[in-house]
Amino acid sequence: MAGRREADFGSLLAQAREAFRGAFAGADPEIAVSAPGRVNLIGEHTDYNQGFVLPMALQLGTVLVGSPRQDGTISITTIAEQAEEPKTVQFPAPTEGNPLRPGVPHWANYVKGVIQHYRAGPVPGFSAVIASDVPLGGGLSSSASLEVAVYTFLQQLCPDDGDLVAKALACQKAEHTFANMPCGIMDQFISVMGKEGHALLIDCRSLETLLVPLTDPSLVVLITNSNVRHALTGSEYPTRRHQCEEAAKALGKASLREASMADLEAAQALLSEEVYRRARHVIGEIERTSRAVQALQARDYGTFGRLMVESHNSLRDDYEVSCPELDELVVAALEVSGVYGSRMTGGGFGGCTVTLLEAGAAEKALQHIKEKYRGTATFYFSKPSDGAKAQTLQADTSLSA
């Protein structure tokens, strides 16, 4: 079993610090920050439709350690095993006449995009090392975790005004423009604004948030990684987004957030069967998310779990973003007594499931899923964690210089 039960980035910080010393002539970094990944409890593919989402920040995340430098150069190394080569990039700090542009390796585009769209500046030269334990392609928002970590690091170098919403929006813009991924706002928001012991209801239309307590010691959140790698930068994600826009236009609405099921039924003849089903998922999912928050506030975990299962079935049948491996993991989880609900989480086509269950059933569920799943899954138990923050670099004599 993998995954920390305490929100402790100490191990990642130690790895990043050691790599920094190795990469930069034994120098110790002056700045350290962390930003969490996230799991979405319910509300999938609703964020870019101006709906509701209910994520929580994870005890998995990205750390970045580094120091300013005086030569105007930015040098960044990632020690993530899954990141493509080269794992070190170097480029001049951007100026008004010489902006940064995306290129290769792909992982560096998330970093460059945040630097280019940082809201204060000018950004000075710096050296940095990135370490992360958020699985890439797992639907746990490794990209937003990286973006928010970079932004938080830049805040230590040249502080901005501290506006959290603007910070999340700048990171989203970086992903849109440098990674060519038209993501919604959820991932960046929760990585910035997560709070220990709480899920976060995000209204993706007004950008208002509501902390929803999730501290019951009898509950466990189990994340199961199918280890099937998804790649959302292909055609599927933009296609779904376009289909939602097409449906909203046919219904005469600014977004599917404005539409009811009655509106959709009345306009069914105007839509292809596929676009109709896409809209049915989104409208239903927005409503499910609202009901799920009420259930969680009332500690009605049975209702919350049923809504999770309805969400999965809708993602599988109407939105068609599940896959056999995710379906298999959900079915296996639901066979265990003490499991309230389970669903795929993230963009789909692989990645993870999230399961809400009684703490006493945790080990039994883990073993059962492991036995039933034809692939090799990785398991994480997590509690809701804090969002991005600066970390203290304490004196450490255990690492070789």
What residues are labeled active site? 187
Q: Reduce the DSSP state of residue 26 to 3 states and report it.
A: coil
CA 230 to the chain's CA centroid: 14
Question: Contact 279/244 with Cβ under 8 angstroms?
Answer: yes
Q: Is residue 247 helix, strand or coil?
A: helix
DSSP H or E run through 147? helix 142-157
d(CA 85, CA 175): 20
Distance CA 278, CA 25 (A): 54
Cβ-based burial of 196 (10 A; exposed 0-12, middle 13-18, buried ≥19):
middle
- Give the burial string for 305-328 (b: 16+ CB within 10 Å, else e): bbbbbbbbebbbebbbbbbebbbb
What does each C-alpha distance from 174 to 58, 144, 157, 168, 259 come to in angstroms?
22, 10, 19, 10, 30
Distances (CA, A) of 183 to 151, 204, 344: 18, 12, 18
